[in-house]
């Protein structure tokens, strides 16, 4: 998948009052969270930064285009992509990296894993005064953030929007219906899908 996803419906109410420097753009948003990070011994943090965050940096280097925005805090990762395909590849490459790495050889717990979620939709591109660069905000960012906590470790969960975009055109990905799942923080129930590459073998 290398083309931009088709335009998604955008809510119109109140948009005419937006300041001219604020834009609303359709993006693919990834959230990931490390399973068991809170139990990681303090002395393991250098190994985490070098081997886990460093591995993610290597994954991003292999994408056709880097994320439009990326941020980390503790064990959490938030990335925004212009291209749906880059978000999908990043999510699955991150899943494979987490599942297939022998973490005990990297100085980290052997059960090290991550929950990963993807959603696509219109988001506000706003200059963040604290970060000094464009950040992304809005309901669809919140949707992506609420999917991640309910994902199984070592899996990539995607919204119905992402699954619909995949079904809309030819692609190199597979997905299966998980169910109508209650999202985190009483955000409501939404159809959720498990993202895979065809022929994926669980290690």
113, 154 contact by CB (below 8 A): yes
Please report the pLDDT score of residue 180 as a whole number.
Answer: 82
Helix (H) or strand (E) holding 157: strand 156-159
Taking the C-alpha atoms of residue 97 and residue 56, their distance in angstroms, rounded to an integer, is 8
Taking the C-alpha atoms of residue 188 and residue 185, their distance in angstroms, rounded to an integer, is 8
Please report the pLDDT score of residue 2 as a whole number.
Answer: 47
Please report the pLDDT score of residue 20 as a whole number.
Answer: 67
In sequence order, the 6+-apart residues with CB closer than 8 A to the CB of 19 are none
Please report the pLDDT score of residue 179 as a whole number.
Answer: 84
The neighbour count for residue 52, using CB atoms within 10 Å, is 23
Per-residue three-class SS string for 53-90: HHHHHHHHHCCCCCCCEEEEECCEEEEEECCHHHHHHH
Q: 109-124 pLDDT, tens per residue? A: 888 889 999 999 999 9
Of 183, 34, 159, which is closest to residue 94 (Cα–Cα)? 34
Lowest mean pLDDT among 5-19, 67-81, 155-169, 184-198: 5-19
Taking the C-alpha atoms of residue 88 and residue 67, their distance in angstroms, rounded to an integer, is 12
CA atoms within 13 A on the CB side of 110: 0
Average pLDDT over residues 32-43: 85
The neighbour count for residue 158, using CB atoms within 10 Å, is 30
Taking the C-alpha atoms of residue 184 and residue 33, their distance in angstroms, rounded to an integer, is 13
Q: 159-193 pLDDT, tens per residue? A: 999 988 888 765 678 888 888 887 766 667 789 99
Tokens for 60, please give them: 């991003």
Region for residue 74 given its phi and psi (left: phi exceeds 0; alpha: psi -120 to 50; beta: otherwise): left
90, 67 contact by CB (below 8 A): yes
More confident residue, 74 or 56: 56
The predicted model scores a pTM of 0.83
Please report the pLDDT score of residue 98 as a whole number.
Answer: 92
Please report the pLDDT score of residue 169 as a whole number.
Answer: 66
Looking at the predicted structure, is the pLDDT value of residue 203 above 60? no
Looking at the predicted structure, is the pLDDT value of residue 16 above 80? no
**Residue 22 carries which DSSP code?**
-
More confident residue, 121 or 74: 121
Looking at the predicted structure, is the pLDDT value of residue 1 above 70? no
Q: What's phi and psi for 140, nearest 5 deg?
A: -75, -30
Mean residue pLDDT across the chain = 84
């Amino acid at each position: 998948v290398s083309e931009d996803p088709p335009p998604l419906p955008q809510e119109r109410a109140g948009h005419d009052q937006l300041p001219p420097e604020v834009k609303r753009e359709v993006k693919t948003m990834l959230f990931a969270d490390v399973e068991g990070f809170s139990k990681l011994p303090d002395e393991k943090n250098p190994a985490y930064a070098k081997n886990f965050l460093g591995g993610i940096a290597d994954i991003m280097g292999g994408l056709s285009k880097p994320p439009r925005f990326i941020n980390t805090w503790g064990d959490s990762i938030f990335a925004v992509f212009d291209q749906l395909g880059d978000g999908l590849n990043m999510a699955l490459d991150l899943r494979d990296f987490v599942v297939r790495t022998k973490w005990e050889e990297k100085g980290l717990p052997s059960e090290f894993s991550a929950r990963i979620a993807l959603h696509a939709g219109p988001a506000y591109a706003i200059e963040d005064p604290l970060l000094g660069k464009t950040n992304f905000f809005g309901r669809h960012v919140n949707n992506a953030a609420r999917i991640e906590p309910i994902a199984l470790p070592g899996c990539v969960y995607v919204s119905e929007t992402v699954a619909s975009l995949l079904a809309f055109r030819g692609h190199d990905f597979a997905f299966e219906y998980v169910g109508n799942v209650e999202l985190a923080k009483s955000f409501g129930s939404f159809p959720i899908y498990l993202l895979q590459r065809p022929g994926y073998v669980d290690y």
